């Protein structure tokens, strides 16, 4: 399984765009990239998933360069409620639920 | 559609006892995975069940076991509890096909005294 590396923590201010980058140098051909958000004492919540190029949904965008060795989660105009831990996971399509969570990135949004 | 539910939400046990946690997946989801989350180790994968069969397993001792029923509901059991088993136990469900995202329940917080 490909290992992921993310910044331990990030700070931002309300209304700003936040970009969290995840490195996954050993990503395999069949691997896809998924991001989750977790609030204290709650289960992680799926945010977005992609395989290559760019994916956008109502809450975030995921940018994946051509070599797929990294990916960037973009959160537009964050608010205080976006303060959470964000996890990047790289998953094998053949074992899609054998997922390894890293330490995640603790995002703190300040007023 | 109702989300993933886990029971009980909180549990206190003593060392040496055993515990059974329950998870009801989202309707139509056939895969259920279990995770342990602690401040020191973070989120760790325990095992995954699909169509009543264990499909993947993490690096946990045999004291941790699980099963899945024909209606996709799942239980996990921890025998001979140790203090280090105190954690938030999370269940996640998905359709089980390649590439599907998982949907997590609120978790069961277990405290072992």
Q: What is the pLDDT of residues A37-61, one digit of tens each?
A: 999 888 999 999 999 889 999 999 9
Q: What is the structure's pLDDT at A111?
A: 95
pLDDT surpasses 90 at A98: no
Find the farthest-apart pair of alpha carbons in chain A and give their distance in angstroms, rounded. 43
DSSP class of residue B25 equals P
pLDDT score of A99: 67
H/E segment holding residue B109: strand B108-112
pLDDT beneath 70: ranges in chain B: 1, 98-99
- Chain A contact set for B88 (CB, 8 A): 41
Backbone angles phi, psi at B85, to 5 degrees: -80, -5
- pLDDT in the model for residue A2: 63
Tokens representing residue A38 in the block: 């977790």
A-chain residues near B58 (CB < 8 A): 98
Residue contact B44–A102, C-beta within 8 A: no
Task: Give the pLDDT score at A102.
Answer: 78
pLDDT tops 80 at residue A16 = yes
The sheet carrying A61-64 orders its strands as A18-23, A70-75, A61-64, A53-56
Q: Give the nearest partner residue to A43 out of B56, B101, B104, using CB atoms.
A: B104
Closest chain B C-alpha to A17 CA, distance in angstroms: 25
Q: Out of B43, B91, B94, name the one closest to residue A101 (CB).
A: B43
Would you place residue A3 in the very low, low, confident or very high pLDDT band (cuts 50, 70, 90)? confident
Residue A97: the pLDDT is: 52
Which pLDDT score, from 0 to 100, does residue B42 have? 86
Cβ <8 Å between B99 and A96: yes
Contact list, A3 vs chain B (CB under 8 Å) = none
């Amino acid at each position: 399984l490909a290992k992921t590396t993310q910044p331990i923590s990030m700070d931002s201010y309300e209304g700003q765009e936040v970009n969290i980058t995840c490195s996954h140098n050993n990503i395999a051909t069949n691997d896809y990239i998924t991001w989750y958000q977790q609030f204290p004492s709650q289960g992680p919540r799926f945010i977005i998933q992609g395989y290559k190029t760019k994916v956008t949904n109502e809450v975030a965008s995921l940018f994946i360069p051509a070599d797929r060795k990294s990916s960037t989660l973009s959160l537009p105009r964050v608010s205080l409620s976006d303060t959470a831990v964000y996890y990047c996971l790289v998953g094998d399509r053949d074992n899609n639920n054998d997922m390894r969570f890293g330490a995640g990135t603790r995002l703190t949004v300040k007023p | 559609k109702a989300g993933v539910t886990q029971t009980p939400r909180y549990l206190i046990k003593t060392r040496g006892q055993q515990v059974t946690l329950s998870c009801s997946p989202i309707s139509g989801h056939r895969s259920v995975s279990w995770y342990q989350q602690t401040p020191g180790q973070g989120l760790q994968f325990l095992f995954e069940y699909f169509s009543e069969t264990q499909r993947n397993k993490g690096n946990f001792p045999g004291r941790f076991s699980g099963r899945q029923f024909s209606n996709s509901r799942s239980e996990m059991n921890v025998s001979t509890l140790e203090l280090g088993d105190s954690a938030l136990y999370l269940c996640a469900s998905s359709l089980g096909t390649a590439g599907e995202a998982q949907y997590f329940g609120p978790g069961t917080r277990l405290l072992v005294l």
